[in-house]
Amino acid sequence: MSKIDVLLGLQWGDEGKGKIVDVLTPNYDIIARFQGGPNAGHTLEFEGIKHVLHIIPSGICHKDKINLIGNGVLIEPWILEKEVKSLENIGFNPKSNLYISKKAHLILPTHRMLDAANEKNKGAQKIGSTLKGIGPAYTDKVARTGLRVGSIFTSDFEVLYKKACSAHLSQIKAMGYEPDEFKIDGESFEEYEKKWFDSLATLRQLTIVDSEYFIDEALSEGKRILAEGAQGSMLDVDFGSYPFVTSSNTITAGVCSGLGVAPSKIGRVFGIFKAYCTRVGSGPFPTELFDQDGETMRQEGREFGSTTGRARRCGWLDIPALKYACMLNGVTHLMLMKVDVLNKFESIKICEQYEIDGNQTDKVPYETDAVINPVYSELKGWCEDVAGKNTFEQLPIAMKEYVNAIEQKMNLPIAVVSTSPDRKDTIIRTEL
């Protein structure tokens, strides 16, 4: 029996997972999303064209590969329909190779309104939600009041839908707001609801499966499966900087519950990280930069959210956080992204440890308000454009020293080095 390989982010999201999934897809038969929802923004870039996927797995542009949305993922039908049509407009037919779990939960229009109300209610304590309805939808899932994809084929779906929406509107009123205060993508509830219901037609046209049986049968047949994570390990609802986290388990353990597979069926774990760090929204960020270096990272890396458009916070590479994420995930291979963003830096810093209350540690603290002073080492920059360099040997000496330094600190091999957003600029150092 085959095992499922896992590819996930080791930082606060936006690590470049979409590109690497796209690069690795030829090696697999099935690409499967296991958590998150349209709060993801996985970017594919090839032939000078940028494509952003929010729900659909990043292997969808490979016509002979099955792309599965697992039970742990949240489906927003209107966003899914837009994504399907966008792919159709550039010559792909996602309806032919996109499968969806019956047990995946639906994001309702009122989930998005409730998300906005919750965020407004937090005031200065807001977490920076994408306002896609993720938190409220997962809340309903845990409360056993959610609606699943399989529900759209039942005779009582509209009754259940109206009951759920009524409960959400009551919650908004209980917070002291009127529901019509909250637009959905600039539209009223009634306007958006019509589009949402119309988009169910597209969802019904897709292949709906019992994903746990589908995955088990595929593994029994020897098929190769890659599980694709969304967001990043440092945003995990249990192990991230709570409450400044997403609403799902973004780590390897989430694959088991998000696809319905046993831990023994997990194979290799590919951990994706950037040569620096970014974060969107609130929460601790020990190496965050507020100077020109941070702004240079932002501009060179085009660090603006693909889902929200918000400018990302930028900072130097954080080794304690990276070690923590590798520990949680059982990472076997590291994949280094966006080294090209550091092309213009004469010197590059790496956070080796944290100093907290005068003591040095390499452990991530429980307290989100802890005052952390990063302890840095410094390496020479390469000050050279590396796009188009497709072997490790072609890279500048200073860049190779940077890669080797990270490997030594992490005691893990860096299997992939990405030298530009384009998928062709990907150096694969280890057979995958």
Contact status, residue 58 vs residue 31, Cβ threshold 8 Å? yes
Two structure tokens written together for 237: 């609802």
CA distance 177 to 121: 9
User: Do 237 and 286 contact (CB within 8 A), yes or no?
Assistant: no
Q: With b meaning 16 or more CB within 10 Å and e meaning fewer, what string describes 316-352?
A: bbbbbbbbbbbebbebbbbbbbbbbbbbbbeebbbbb
Secondary structure letter of residue 169 according to DSSP: H
**CB-based contacts of 347, cutoff 8 Å, min separation 6:** 378, 379, 380, 381
Contact, 396 vs 384, CB < 8 A?
A: yes
Among residues 305, 362, 303, the alpha carbon closest in space to that of 337 is found at 303
Task: Count CB-CB contacts under 10 A for residue 175.
Answer: 11
Question: Which member of 5, 22, 29, 42 is catalytic?
Answer: 42
Exposed, middle or buried: residue 258 (CB in 10 Å: 0-12, 13-18, 19+)?
A: buried
Does 54 participate in catalysis according to the annotation? Answer: no
Say whether 210 is catalytic: no
CA-closest candidate to residue 75, choices 174, 199, 191, 184: 199
Catalytic residues: 14, 42
